[in-house]
Structure 1
Amino acid sequence: MNRRVVITGIGVRAPGGSGVKAFWDLLTAGRTATRRISHFDASPFRSRIAGEVDFDAPAEGFSPREIRRMDRATQFAVACTRDAVADSGLDMSALDPHRIGVSLGSAVASATSLENEYLVMSDAGKDWLVDPGYLSPHMADYLSPGIMPAEVAWTVGAQGPVTMVSDGCTSGLDSVGYAVQLIREGTVDTVVAGASDTPISPIVVACFDAIKATTPRNDDPEHASRPFDGSRTGFVLAEGAAMFVLEEYGAAVARGAEIYAEVTGYATRCNAYHMTGLKKDGREMAEAIRVALDEARLDPTGIDYVNAHGSGTKQNDRHETAAFKRSLGDHAYRVPVSSIKSMVGHSLGAIGSIEIAASLLAIKHNVVPPTANLHTPDPECDLDYVPLTAREQRVDTVLSVGSGFGGFQSAIVLRRPEGVSA
């Protein structure tokens, strides 16, 4: 069995605005949402900026008990799930719950709540022997990443496969890829899939400070994320989430659903090389792209837009440029490429799903979002990286890619189905 899979619902929480419209408005305007960290006192750290989401849990409909129980990342996932289901127009209660699945990605899961609880129990680290009397009754929920997809499953009544995908910065891409496989093989008919991460906490900031992956350009937060620019100095940490409703194509058409795109190809590879290092030739990402294109039965010239990982680190942007040249051939020099991390930062495991959302909207609106802050391209990054201003053009097929610590490289192909108007 190899059933076709389409995406019919989107929910987004990203820096710069709440919801799909605010997210798309920010991207197409080329505005940046990176700023000085406000979640805690970041003055002791090397990198003190981030892409924060203005999220009001009570206004989002969460009760005090739910807020106490759910980590911030889980709240994001549930809020996006509600939006995605509403957007899809699908009545989940009318479906067989055993034919509904959940696939959620996250890199650091409930790290924010875990750290907050440790600070409370240890009196901000003053006590070596912590007092368990101050322990939250929900500490086990914060410890187990699996509680995040479970909360999503409870939200939609899913009793089919419920899975957590956590392989670093490709988690949000791989969670959707896994969901596609579940529907294709006939295990389920519908999957709520996506990713959520809220890593703006002292421990996570310190981790990236230690390896100098994040930018120290603290004096100019709005222009600090500079993918493919010769002056780039690292990525800007961020938080966010995006969730989708995926369905079997025939069922979506039968009920008259709005289809954003069909997922025609997906692949993931690992370089088995280094925890953070990347080879300059981009071979592993190129292989993931090649396999995804083969699965989609698509020639490289069929790609209208490439949504790049574009983290803004020296090695990633050069590695990615090489991968595009290796996998797309001469078409790499003609196809527009951009990185939305220049505007919303890098939300680790969530960014792959957020970039899929941007790709779906590019198809819907026939607009390629720009790479903000790209003024002086690195000579080694010599492709069409759509600097500064969004570009109106026909977009039927998008290749979106991800690269993560541990050597993970993933690619997904999204295509406007025949018969769906532009």
Structure 2
Amino acid sequence: MITGMGVVAPGGTGTKGFWDLLTSGRTATRRISHFDPSPFRSQVAAECDFDPVLAGFTHREIRRLDRASLFAVASARDCAADSGLAFADLDPTRIGVSVGSAVGATTSLEREYLVLSDSGRDWVVDADYATPHMYDYFTPGAIAAEVAWSVGAEGPATIVSSGCTSGLDSVGYAYQLIVEGTADIMVTGATDAPISPIAVACFDAIKATTPRNDEPESASRPFDLTRSGFVIGEGAAMFVLEEYEHAKARGAHIYAEVTGYATRCNAYHMTGLKADGREMADAITYALNESRIDPTAVDYINAHGSGTKQNDRHETNAFKVALGDHAYDVPVSSIKSMIGHSLGAIGSIEIAASVLAIQHNVVPPTANLTQSDPECDLDYVPVTAREHRTDTVLSVGSGFGGFQSAMVLRRLQEDAR
């Protein structure tokens, strides 16, 4: 059961600001301001207007923590408060943490490399200039530890790093720990802050990001015939997952229930995808089977929708294989059109959007979708949010390395229980 939620995302403050942005169809993509992007092919991004002081961090914490860690802890604090749980009064060994991140402390690592090497001049670096927090930057697990400390969790604490599916996989792992009885409560989600020169250069090299620099607001165009690559983003979303009886006993507000999760790998290519979408379709089918629901019960699909031709065609075919004729009837959308692709964080941010779609019976739109690609012939909810009864949401992710993940989220089915 999802009983608490916290979001740090581009274009909005907190969960309410995030949902307001999505339902308005506004985009948070703009020219990169974190550094001078002029030397790069792609110069646009979806940045978070995040002030760590306003978020309650001390100056020491701001110096010590990487931007991704700040996002994670801020959203963990918010989801803990939102849940209404008195964490200090609980058995800490029954509380666990599972955090996803694709690139960890990239921002701080790059900054410290520039200091140590004198902006790349010296091949042999001087360790005397190293920050005492370098170990935490090198070890992504430090992010999970920071989240655990923020809520006093002494159960399992894990970092999940499976590229762009990390945010789905971390929540899926937390769900499995609760199902097997290892924990009663999991604080879970994902974070990434990859808007840095090294990350931008890497995606430039393989031409995965869009070169549409002259119109950043409309640069992210999933499923549109004129799409030219994804827009890099940043952010975090964290949740309190709780065992059903535990949540019911305290009268918790239950946003939604995780009822199924599966992940697969195509064992094919680091960045390539097979056009038939078989591996994603397989993950979807297993997640639906675990949920014990028919494909026709899916009311909305929160697509990966990165805005690359390869991905958009791949998942369009996956939906057709997994859902059959129902694929043509169910609304689909990509929120990356508005908040960019925050790598490992996006899967959890998309879970947040899926949960809010259930809460409000509204499907967020795919912004900038004005010219449909004939090969992407499903109902991709263009431009404007749609009121739609949404009891069951399928959220999917696809990542470099061939990772394909799917999760089913449902409105609490009291009668079924």
Q: TM-score range by the shorter chain?
A: over 0.9
User: Shift of residue 48 of structure 1?
Assistant: 0.4
Asked if 1:316 corresponds to 2:316, the answer is no
Q: Which residue matches 2:89?
A: 94
Residue 46 of structure 1 deviates from its aligned partner by 0.4
Work out whether 1:256 is the aligned partner of 2:251: yes
CA displacement at 1:393 relative to structure 2: 1.2
Match for 1:286 among 281, 306, 327? 281
AA aligned to 1:406 is G
Alignment partner of 2:163 out of 159, 168, 171? 168
SS at match of 2:319: helix
C-alpha RMSD of the superposition: 0.7
Alignment of 1:13-412 (within 5 A): 13-412=8-407
Shift of 1:235: 0.2
Structure 1 position 132, deviation (Å): 1.6
In structure 2, distance between residues paired with 1:280 and 1:93: 50
Aligned residue number for residue 3 of structure 1? none
Deviations 1:60-86 (A, max 9, x none): 111111111110000000000010011
Measure, in 1, the Cα distance between the counterparts of 2:412 and 2:120: 55
Please state whether the residue corresponding to 2:409 is helix, strand or coil.
strand
Q: Distance in 2 between matches of 1:298 and 1:7?
A: 19
After the TM superposition, which segments of 4 or more aligned residues of structure 1 sit over 6 Å from their partners?
A: none
State the shift of 1:133 in Å: 1.7
Offset of residue 59 of structure 1: 1.2
Identity of paired residues, percent? 75
Distance in 1 between residues matched to 2:114 and 2:150, nearest whole Å: 30
Amino acid at match of 2:19: W
State the secondary structure of the residue aligned to 2:189: strand
Structure 1 distance, partners of 2:181, 2:414, is 24
Which runs of 5 or more structure 1 residues have no equivalent in the other structure? 1-5
Letter in 2 for 1:366: N
Deviation, 1:129, is 2.1
- Kindly state the Cα deviation for residue 128 of structure 1 after the two structures are TM-superposed: 2.0
Aligned mates of 1:93, 1:303 — CA distance in 2 = 38
Q: Structure 1: how far apart are the matches of 2:153 and 2:4?
A: 16
Q: What is the identity, as a one-letter code, of the residue corresponding to 1:156?
A: V
Within the alignment, does 1:413 sit opposite 2:405 as a pair?
no
Per-residue deviation at 1:115?
A: 0.3
Q: Equivalents in 2 of 1:146, 1:128: separation in Å?
A: 28
Letter in 2 for 1:147: A
TM-score (norm 2): 0.99
Amino acid paired to 2:264: R
What SS is found at the alignment partner of 1:409?
strand
With the length of structure 1 as denominator, give the TM-score of the two structures. Answer: 0.98
Distance in 2 (CA, whole Å) between partners of 1:75 and 1:396 is: 33
Q: Give distance in 2, aligned partners of 1:228 and 1:141.
A: 39
Residue ranges of structure 2 left out of the alignment (5+ in a row):
none
